[in-house]
Amino acid sequence: MAQVAFIGLGNMGGPMAANLIKANHQVSVFDLSEEAMQALVKEGATAAPSAAEAVKDADFVISMLPASQHVESLYLGDKGIASVIPKKALVIDSSTVSADCARDLAEQLNEHGLRFIDAPVSGGVAGAKSGTLTFICGGDAADIEEAKVVLGVMGKNVLRAGEHGAGQVAKICNNMLLAVLMAGTSEALQLGRANGLDAKVLSDIMLQSSGRNWTLEVYNPCPDVLENVPSSNQYEGGFLVDLMAKDLGLAMDTAGAAGAATPMGERVQQLYKEHSEAGYGKKDFSSIFNYFEPKRT
């Protein structure tokens, strides 16, 4: 079994680290939240007093952080850990960050004699808990193959998109499409409800028709259509609106740099920005359903 340092124990990182422990890996954890660390200690992890202490003797260093600036600070900042990570270790960042951030990190870690892959995930909190995530990887094929020792117990798919940064580009494309689908599904369900249709009946009809999609089938945004999804729990848990808005910003930056046309992405980014400003920033991204609530006059 491997020695794993896991840094970042939020909604995603916590259950991911727990699955490593269940697979009998030796896991050292660090997070700014003492409560988050102690929850993993109860599962069998060792809590480190700092990120630098967590990575001592690690075979794998895994980070799961909110944004590019947090990842850059962790590895390359004034108290960055790049200089103390063992040379044997493979560094895996599963945060969703810009492709430029991932490429720069790969280059600078290489200067420290370290190997790196970007490995953002798809599958949400439910996938993190059940160990069924998809890892979308960028980097050397041999390093990604080696990473399967740990990624394989946290996910069911480990896919290589290309060289460093490619994992982030693919993840950003996926999340832009996800946002468009969630907004479109929400709009269609609200249209049906405004015309007297039952949302569950309409969902069942669309699931047997050409409008079938993941947000409708697995993550329905209308309350009480599905059990055990955020929409049926006041939109608590899951993937926050503010994080989706962040990812859409990354998508637009990536599109701008490549000269790609993303009119749907631009519109859905604006929708999520407005939705966050309306007070939904800390709710699940499926709460965009409420944005389309019919306006009564």
Which residue numbers are catalytic?
Answer: 171
Q: What is the CATH number of the domain that holds 204?
A: 1.10.1040.10
Query: Mind listing the pLDDT tens digit for each residue in 211-252?
Result: 999 999 999 999 999 999 999 999 998 899 999 999 999 999
Are residue 102 and residue 186 in the same domain, yes or no?
no
Phi, then psi, of 92 in degrees rounded to 5: -125, 115
Q: Which of 113, 144, 162 is the last residue of a domain?
A: 162
Paired sense of beta strands 26-30 and 3-7, if any: parallel
User: Rounded to the nearest 5°, which phi and psi values hold at 177?
Assistant: -65, -40
Residues 15, 27 contacting (CB under 8 angstroms)? no
| Kind and range of the H or E run holding 245 | helix 241-258
**Average pLDDT of 86-112?**
97
Residue 296: is its pLDDT beyond 60? Answer: no
79 within some domain? yes
Q: Domain boundary residue among 102, 135, 162?
A: 162
pLDDT at 297: 45
CA distance 132 to 155: 4
139 and 277 both lie in a single domain:
no
Same domain as 155, residue 230: no
On whether both 233 and 176 belong to a single domain, the answer is: yes
* pLDDT bucket at 112, cuts 50 / 70 / 90: very high
